Structure 1
Amino acid sequence: MHGLHAVAAALLNPRRRLRRLLLTAEAEATLAARLPPGTIAARKLSAERVEDRTRFHSFLPEDSVHQGAAMLVEPLPGLALDDVLAASAGPVLLLDQVTDPRNVGAILRSAAAFGAAAVVVQDRHAPPETGALARAASGALETVPMIREVNLARAIRGLQDKGVWVLGLAGEAKRTLAEAKPADRRVGLVLGAEAGGLRRLQRETVDEMVRLPIATEVESLNVAAAAAVALYELARA
């Protein structure tokens, strides 16, 4: 992973196993100012000083905005959805074939901002935890559980069995999210990729399809933008 926010958050996450840390002098000073004293040493890491920033391009894509910080890490251990639901009362986001790592990262960031309990993705149709995803999440990959499920419709039914009211987002739905959100139950919100939206099985499984009230001149929102607006609406009293 790369970028100051992503690296700092990973250093503070005891669940994250760290292997190697590379920093420029400037990035090391910035992290030292942001993190509690002794954080890097406590993780049994010794930062490798990078004098030539082009060295980062030997293991990161050339267009990576690394800010002088990169770290080799292992993927986070998986979490069970039941455990996540017990730990937080926030809404649950479910992503139906959203494959762009930058979109998923941005959604994780919004999920952290508005207190979502988890982001659920379908294992075969979701990006891995790449550096691009972690940077777009700006640290939220370390704080919001990203749960991979083999079957998204089954995950929806599992949430419904636990009393979660699951809503699917689509522009052609009759009621808005504000009109349909329950006041006394946790909400699950299913979002699809921009091109195809929610697939048929997900549409048939959710409790209700809802929409965001956007201007008629705009066909749709980017999925990450839609997630942010929807989470804000759910967070409103």
Structure 2
Amino acid sequence: MSTGRDRTWLTRYHKERRKNILAGPGPHEFVLVLDQLKAGFNVPKIFRSAEAFGAAAVHLINIGPFDPAPAKGSFRKVPAVFHEDFGACYQLLSDQGYRFFQLRADAETPLYEVDFPARSAFIFGHEEFGFSFGQDSYADIEPLAIPQFGSIHCLNVSNAATIAMYEYVRQFN
């Protein structure tokens, strides 16, 4: 049973999603691909960082409604592209000339060792279940890691996305 609070954020989501169709790309060509993330807190936080770093768009794969309040208005400013599966997103971005980077804690190549092309697509998976696709099906996706030195080798996905965006922007400014 939904509560009044649930209905409030759901109403806000639909209102903000309608406004999102007017969103324009930021000054950079990179995009984020959010692959089946939990719709809760992380998705709007990623929109907030995407707006701050000037992302061209955020692609959402099989992600349902979320409370846009933590995005602080960024959900209406950064174009959101919704997909039901990764294959459709991959094909669209491939046709547009994007190079793909998958952020993984177990990757051997550190994020800072790659010279990113202007059209970079950063893919982030579900924190518990990972990615919805097999790496073997997409051999051109380059796995990258954010070096970590603590005992927990997994950053919160919104923090990892922010670090990847920062590194991209650092290289282009």
TM-score range, shorter chain: 0.7 to 0.9
Structure number, greater radius of gyration: 1
Q: How far is 1:177 from its partner?
A: 1.6
- Hey, what does 1:117 align to over in structure 2? 56
Tell me the distance in 2 between the aligned counterparts of 1:221 and 1:175. Answer: 16
Q: How far is 1:209 from its partner?
A: 0.8
Larger RCO, structure (CA 8 Å, separation 6 or more): 2
Tell me the distance in 2 between the aligned counterparts of 1:155 and 1:143. Answer: 20
Tell me the distance in 2 between the aligned counterparts of 1:198 and 1:160. Answer: 18
- Hey, what does 2:124 align to over in structure 1? 191
Aligned partner letter, 2:129: G
Question: TM-score normalised to the size of structure 1?
Answer: 0.60
- Percent identity, aligned pairs only, is 29
Q: How far is 1:198 from its partner?
A: 2.1
- Hey, what does 1:215 align to over in structure 2? 149
Tell me the distance in 1 between the aligned counterparts of 2:170 and 2:98. Answer: 18
Tell me the distance in 1 between the aligned counterparts of 2:76 and 2:90. Answer: 24
Structure 1 residue ranges (4+ consecutive) displaced by more than 4 angstroms after TM superposition: none
Question: TM-score normalised to the size of structure 2?
Answer: 0.80
- Hey, what does 1:60 align to over in structure 2? 5
- Hey, what does 1:91 align to over in structure 2? 30
Q: What RMSD, in angstroms, separates the aligned Cα atoms of the two structures?
A: 3.0
Q: 1:71 to 1:232 in 2, by over 3 A?
A: closer
Q: 1:114 to 1:72 in 2, by over 3 A?
A: closer
Tell me the distance in 1 between the aligned counterparts of 2:145 and 2:13. Answer: 40
How many equivalent residue pairs? 165
Q: How far is 1:165 from its partner?
A: 1.0
- Hey, what does 2:92 align to over in structure 1? 158
- Hey, what does 2:63 align to over in structure 1? 126
Tell me the distance in 2 between the aligned counterparts of 1:212 and 1:181. Answer: 15
Q: 1:154 to 1:215 in 2, by over 3 A?
A: same
- Hey, what does 1:104 align to over in structure 2? 43
